């Protein structure tokens, strides 16, 4: 796993956007794995700026969101379908027909989840998966004790996740109790993983994911199983990493042929 400690959230966004852009420049019809929440917003803003400046074209790329709430309408401003449209599809100039979000309103949620995994496979798999991390170590909405082999499925949100996400809703009781989320097994099939984390509130989860034991109690520790996973963190999110100096040294001495 590559761990890159950067001075601030802006530097995290810049490097994450550069890495996603590099994938798309190599392969204009790349398949992007899309996270929602606060963590990737700076990355999306940087990518949108590159698109607006004519430096990047995402019109042929596809996208698959990690997750969606169950039980709120697609049109709700905080449904992930709405969030992805507002923060990704439109500003990045992606083709809406190529951007997918699990269907949290499906009459048969289990079938919709299976169909989502099939759609990812049909698209050729995800080239680069952007991830945030929950304070409880979740990625996607794979809450603690999620199986490393899990596929896209219905999950019950942990009370901590509902409390953390209450900031997006007028009333905390409005936060859905369930979701559809790509499984850890689904996420691990992406060819490259890029986890971004900023702020002290993520420090413990980042340390558990990177340096803790491989454990379903910290679902993000699944990244340790991936051959191409990078964790991009600001100083605050890195503050509990025991080997921080080694990661700094490694990145400072990264061979040029490995790219940024
Ligand atoms: C969202 C997602 C979640 C978030 C995580 C962090 O699609 O999959 O895992 O990345 O809850 O959320 P923020 O970034 O809002 O702190």
Q: What is the pLDDT of residues 66-77, one digit of tens each?
A: 999 999 999 999
| 234 part of the active site | no
DSSP secondary-structure letter at 139? Answer: B
Q: Does 258 have pLDDT greater than 90?
A: no
One-character DSSP codes across 171-232: SGGGS-SEEEE--HHHHHTSS-EEEEE-SGGGHHHHHHHHHS-S-TTSGGGGGGG-SSEEEE
CB burial of residue 62 (10 Å; 0-12, 13-18, 19+): buried
160 confidence band (pLDDT: 50, 70, 90): very high
Q: Within 13 A of 32's CA, how many CA atoms are on the CB side?
A: 34
DSSP H or E stretch at residue 63:
strand 62-65
Instruction: Tell me the backbone φ, ψ of residue 205, rounded to 5 degrees.
Output: -65, -40
- pLDDT above 90 covers a percentage of the chain that reads 98
Cα distances (Å, whole numbers) of residue 251 to 5, 162, 255 = 8, 36, 9
Kindly report, residue by residue over 23-64, the tens digit of the pLDDT.
999 999 999 999 999 999 999 999 999 999 999 999 999 999
Q: Does 139 have pLDDT greater than 90?
A: yes
Fold assignment, 2-254: Rossmann fold (3.40.50)
Mean pLDDT across 114-130: 98
Q: What is the pLDDT of residue 109?
A: 97
| Predicted structure pTM score | 0.97
245 confidence band (pLDDT: 50, 70, 90): very high
Q: Which of 117, 138, 165, 192 is catalytic?
A: 138
CB burial of residue 126 (10 Å; 0-12, 13-18, 19+): buried
Pairing of strands 62-65, 178-181: unpaired
Q: How far, in Å, CA of 217 to CA of 212, rounded?
A: 10
Q: Which of 68, 103, 136, 192 is catalytic?
A: 136
**What residue segments make up the domains of the chain, in order of their start?**
2-254
Mean pLDDT across 181-194: 98
164 C-alpha vs ligand 1 centroid, how far in Å?
A: 9
260 confidence band (pLDDT: 50, 70, 90): confident
One-character DSSP codes across 19-54: HHHHHHHH-TT-EEEE--SSTTHHHHHHHHHHHHTT
Q: Does 132 have pLDDT greater than 90?
A: yes
Mean pLDDT across 243-249: 98
| 100 part of the active site | no
Of 203 and 259, the structure prediction assigns the larger pLDDT to: 203
Q: Which of 117, 143, 164, 192 is catalytic?
A: 143
Cα distances (Å, whole numbers) of residue 131 to 28, 54, 182, 249 = 21, 26, 12, 24
215 C-alpha vs ligand 1 centroid, how far in Å?
A: 19
Mean pLDDT across 97-118: 97
Mean pLDDT across 14-21: 98
131 C-alpha vs ligand 1 centroid, how far in Å?
A: 7
Q: Does 206 have pLDDT greater than 90?
A: yes
256 confidence band (pLDDT: 50, 70, 90): confident
| 178 part of the active site | no
Mean pLDDT across 220-239: 98
Q: What is the pLDDT of residue 40?
A: 98
| 136 part of the active site | yes
Inter-helix orientation angle 41-52/9-26, to 10°: 50
């Amino acid at each position: 796993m590559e761990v890159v400690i950067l001075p601030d959230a802006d530097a995290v966004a810049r490097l994450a956007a550069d890495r996603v852009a590099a994938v798309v420049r190599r392969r204009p019809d790349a398949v992007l794995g899309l996270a929602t929440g606060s963590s990737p917003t700076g990355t999306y803003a940087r990518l949108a700026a590159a698109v607006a400046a004519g430096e990047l074209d995402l019109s042929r790329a596809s996208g698959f969101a990690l997750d969606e709430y169950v039980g709120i309408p697609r049109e709700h401003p905080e449904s992930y379908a709405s969030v992805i449209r507002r923060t990704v599809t439109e500003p990045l100039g992606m083709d809406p027909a190529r951007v997918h979000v699990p269907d949290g309103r499906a009459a048969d949620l289990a079938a919709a989840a299976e169909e989502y995994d099939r759609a990812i496979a049909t698209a050729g798999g995800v080239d680069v998966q952007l991830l945030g991390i929950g304070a409880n170590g979740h990625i996607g909405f794979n809450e603690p004790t999620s199986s490393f082999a899990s596929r896209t499925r219905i999950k019950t949100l942990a009370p901590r996740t509902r409390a953390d996400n209450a900031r997006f809703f007028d009333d905390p009781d409005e936060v859905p109790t369930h979701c559809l989320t790509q499984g850890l097994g689904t996420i691990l099939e992406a060819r490259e993983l890029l986890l971004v984390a900023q702020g002290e509130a993520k420090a413990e989860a980042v340390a558990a994911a990177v340096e803790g034991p491989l454990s379903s109690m910290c679902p993000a520790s699944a990244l340790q199983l991936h051959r191409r996973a990078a964790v991009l963190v600001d100083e605050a999110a890195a503050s509990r990493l025991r080997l921080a100096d080694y990661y700094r040294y490694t990145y400072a001495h990264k061979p040029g042929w490995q790219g940024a």
